[in-house]
Amino acid sequence: MPVRNVLAEAVISKGKVMTKRIVRVVGIVLLICGLIFLGWFIPAKAGWFASDREAMVERYAQPPSRLVTVDGVPIHVRVEGKGFPVVMFHGTGVNLHEWDPLAERLKDDFTVVRLDWPPYGLSGPNPRGYTTPEAARLAGRLLDELGYKRFATVATSNGSNVALTLNAMEPGRVAAMAFSIIPLERPSQTRKVDWKIRAAASFHEAVMPEYHPRIFYRWVFEDTGHKGWTPPDYLVRMMYDMSNLPKAIENQKSYIADNARLFKTTDVGAVAGKVTAPVLLQWCWEDTIISQGPEASVRRFTNTDVKVIEYPHVGHWPMWEIPDRFADDIRGFLKSVDLEGTSAAQADSAAQPDPADGAA
């Protein structure tokens, strides 16, 4: 046999051996990965990773937190500091601890009141369901229970809608309003969501809608903060823990579905026209959830003055991304307005009929 043929057969034989080894190694790796996946999927599907409510109360509701029952609904509330009351409304998917950095910086100057508005955090369940008007109504009743007749509000994301609805329900009660993320128009439906989030969301919606792993929430924060921002581990764990309470995601979906219905069938932003108190709008330009610029929001406040502060490189979480600057701007705004002034003029102004209503 020619030497050339012998060498060729040797090379072919060696190649077959290498191919078999590669296939074997790949098979072993896939088997190990499959076993690891099943080791996670089976207990997750069975609910073994669900958050225990008592453990979450122990972790997130230590004093000065307390649970106050309002109309049969337990509300997690936290009151700190001294001075004029400032009520903080958190955004979608989180809870009152979203405001930890701001509360720490303001409590020497103001009484900081924070609450988990249902369906979020440790508040609820609420047999009446989960809507923005219901959240606002409960917030008003809670503030009655706490004895706060007049207060300022600081709100972000969907918490802004809750604060605005409360103001419309109880004209003249709110002395000043600060907003960082304010969805007066429907949030963007075309923003490019990180592919990992889209893939994970599709998977979980199909086979495990009530549970998402901790890494999922880290991706959410990274996708909505400013470019290069690393969310604190505490923030990620907090969202993970609260979202995995029994029925938490189900209740949140119910709220979000009603919110989407409101944006499709009503003029949600019209509620801004009911505001007569001074307004601060802290506009975060790297927040891509709210698609329009600040001018569109400012135009909706037809009965008050709006101070706008813009942050070019800040995303959806300014209280965590730029905590000192964010707090300084809110403190400066609140100290620049007459918080203790009479509310009668504001109440009368807000109660005036809208000319458009008469035209209809």
> Of 180, 161, 190, which Cα lies nearest the Cα of 259?
161
What letter represents residue 78's amino acid?
A: R
pLDDT band at 344 (very low <50, low <70, confident <90, very high): very low
Q: Indicate the range of 3-12, 283-292, 294-303 predicted with least confidence.
A: 3-12
pLDDT at 2: 60
Distance CA 79, CA 92 (A): 21
129 and 7 part of one domain: no
18 and 68 part of one domain: no
Distance CA 322, CA 105 (A): 12
Which residue range forms the structural domain that includes residue 288?
53-189+252-350
Distance CA 358, CA 238 (A): 48
33 and 169 part of one domain: no
User: Does 127 reside within a domain?
Assistant: yes
Q: How many CA within 13 A on the CB side of residue 75? A: 26
pLDDT band at 209 (very low <50, low <70, confident <90, very high): confident
Over range 168-172, report the average pLDDT. 96
184 and 297 part of one domain: yes
Over range 347-358, report the average pLDDT. 43
pLDDT at 211: 84
User: Does 110 reside within a domain?
Assistant: yes
40 and 65 part of one domain: no
> Of 181, 151, 145, 146, which Cα lies nearest the Cα of 166?
151
44 and 62 part of one domain: no
289 and 345 part of one domain: yes
Over range 101-130, report the average pLDDT. 98
User: Does 356 reside within a domain?
Assistant: no
Answer whether residue 291 shows pLDDT above 90.
Answer: no
pLDDT band at 293 (very low <50, low <70, confident <90, very high): confident
pTM of the model: 0.85
339 and 266 part of one domain: yes
Q: Which residue has the higher pLDDT, 206 or 30?
A: 206
Any idea what the CATH number is for the domain that residue 342 is in? 3.40.50.1820
> Of 27, 20, 23, which Cα lies nearest the Cα of 12?
20
User: Does 236 reside within a domain?
Assistant: no
User: Does 226 reside within a domain?
Assistant: no
User: Does 231 reside within a domain?
Assistant: no
4 and 85 part of one domain: no
101 and 175 part of one domain: yes
Answer whether residue 279 shows pLDDT above 90.
Answer: yes
Number of domains in the chain: 2
Distance CA 227, CA 338 (A): 38
Angle among Cα 70, 73, 76 to the nearest 5 degrees reads 80
Q: Do 105 and 323 form a contact (C-beta atoms < 8 A)? A: yes
9 and 114 part of one domain: no
Q: Residue 133: is the preceding peptide bond cis (ω within 30°)?
A: no
pLDDT at 47: 61
Q: How much of the chain is in helix, strand and coil states, percent to nearest 5?
A: 50, 15, 35
Q: Which residue has the higher pLDDT, 197 or 330?
A: 330
User: Does 64 reside within a domain?
Assistant: yes
88 and 43 part of one domain: no
